[in-house]
Amino acid sequence: MYLNGKKIIVGVTGSIAAYKSALLVRLLVKAGAEVQVIMTKAATEFITPLTLATLSRRPALSAYVQNDVGEWNNHVALGLWADLMVIAPATANTLAKCANGLCDDLLTAVYLSARCPVYFAPAMDLDMFRHPSTQQNLDRLRAYGNGIIEVGTGELASGLTGVGRLAEPEDIRQVLQNHFARIPVARGKRVLITAGPTQEDLDPVRFLGNRSSGRQGWALARVAAQRGARVTLVAGHTADLGAPAGVDVVAAGTAVAMEAAVRGAAADADAVVMAAAVADFRPVDTAADKIKRGDAEPAPLRLTQNPDILAGLVADPPRPGQVVVGFAAETGDADGDVLPHGRAKLARKGCDLLVVNAVGDGKAFETTDNAGWLLARDGGEDELPFGSKALLASRIWDAVVPRLR
Ligand code: CTP
């Protein structure tokens, strides 16, 4: 509903991923948006203007002048017409031009004239994407207030594997929807998100941990920020997975440290989403020096319970009316069904919503995609279909936002 009636310019540049722009245009039109396609000359060699014109129900423009009818495509008027502009795919060349104010074609001239928000969805080969000049151009475009839609990771058209893939059309649509959604719903709300694994030290070099990467929690933080919320991300042991400006990242490597960080920030939060994989136990003793192999049988590991941070929040809410979301990573029952465990955990934890994921066999942990169920205390059960973690994050916020006071 957020995209209905919105005027969107879809810029398409010369990348093999240009075929995906047809799907993006279709999704936007289906959502009720008015779409104007503007292509670079190179883009027309990858996908025909006829395809994009048919899907968008408007001529796909690529030149300043339509020579056959002598019609002038006014870049200033196009820039003023749009509520939003997205360039997908955006090649390294177009990013470089836009970052430096060059405008030798209609698309880059419209970009320079546009008064609306602009998003870039880059697509290129791994090494081009990683090149310091491309990264600097992306930083510059961000600094100018543009949105950069995360690239995907995987097999690239070159045959290499890595970062640089155009985000999936459904993900791009979701980012644009989030853009419009934030105005009525999440602006100014404060949210607290936990992400990633804790590590419970055995000695200075060893720990008890788990396979969580933190990607789902970081995606929740990014989407919340896109929607205009003020975000605190309490991160366990994760890499820096890219928080947008304004996300306050607090490192908390152990369950005890995470409990303190959550307690510190939760009093101000309208919603708390506990995506972290917190260790349930920690060693009773942490050796000051590295434990040596020795000749004797190893001593049994003595463990003690960690605080249950989520249960603590529910039992003693730091802020009335706060929405609390838990996660449950489950291997399922004998049939692999995770729902019975999820329902039991929701009842036990008493939170408002619980996201249930299947784990094991390469699912959920250490991957970029996810799927699961969203269970509500009031009995609702919605499937979260397989998709990127950003997409799942959007669906989770779609459920949380209407519950915010
Ligand atoms: N959690 C928490 N503190 C802990 C353990 C878990 O806050 N010490 C939170 C997690 O962040 C998650 C939810 O509780 O949101 C469920 O975590 P999970 O490990 O699945 O739950 P457990 O209570 O540990 O249940 P299980 O017996 O399945 O391990």
Sorted by where each begins, the domain ranges of the chain are 7-181, 190-286+300-403
pLDDT tens for each residue of the chain, 405 residues long: 789 999 999 999 999 999 999 999 999 999 999 999 999 999 999 999 999 999 999 999 999 887 777 788 888 889 899 999 999 999 999 999 999 999 999 999 999 999 888 999 999 999 999 999 999 999 999 878 788 998 988 888 888 888 899 999 999 999 999 888 764 456 789 999 999 999 999 999 999 999 999 999 999 998 888 778 899 999 999 988 877 777 999 999 999 999 999 999 999 999 999 999 999 999 999 999 999 988 888 889 999 999 999 999 999 999 999 999 999 988 877 777 899 999 999 999 999 999 999 887 777 787 788 889 999 999 999 999 888 888 889 889 889 988 988
Domain 190-286+300-403 coded CATH 3.40.50.10300: yes
Distances (CA, A) of 59 to 50, 81, 87: 8, 15, 17
Q: Kindly report the CA angle at 95 between 92 and 96, in degrees rounded to 5? A: 85
Whole-number Å distance between alpha carbons of 261 and 245? 20
Three-state DSSP state, 18: helix
Whole-number Å distance between alpha carbons of 32 and 128? 35
Given this structure, which CATH class describes domain 7-181? alpha beta
CA of residue 108 to ligand 1 center, whole Å = 49
Whole-number Å distance between alpha carbons of 169 and 25? 9
Counting from 1 in the atom list of ligand 1, the atom nearest the Cα of 276 is 11
Length of the chain: 405
Whole-number Å distance between alpha carbons of 188 and 57? 37
Q: Which residues line ligand 1 (CB under 6 A)?
A: 194, 255, 274, 276, 278, 280, 306, 308-310, 326-329
- Burial degree of 110 (CB within 10 A; 0-12, 13-18, 19+): buried
Distances (CA, A) of 267 to 264, 270, 275, 323, 343: 7, 9, 18, 12, 27
Nearest CA, atom 6, ligand 1:
278
- DSSP run (H or E) holding 201: strand 200-201
pLDDT at 182: 65
What is the dihedral angle through the alpha carbons of 120, 122, 128, 129, rounded to the nearest 10 degrees? 90
Give the residue numbers marked as catalytic: 210
Nearest CA, atom 18, ligand 1:
328
pLDDT at 308: 97
Nearest CA, atom 21, ligand 1:
328
How many Cα atoms sit within 13 Å of 137 on the Cβ side?
21
pLDDT at 305: 98
Nearest to 55 by CA among 4, 19, 17, 101: 19
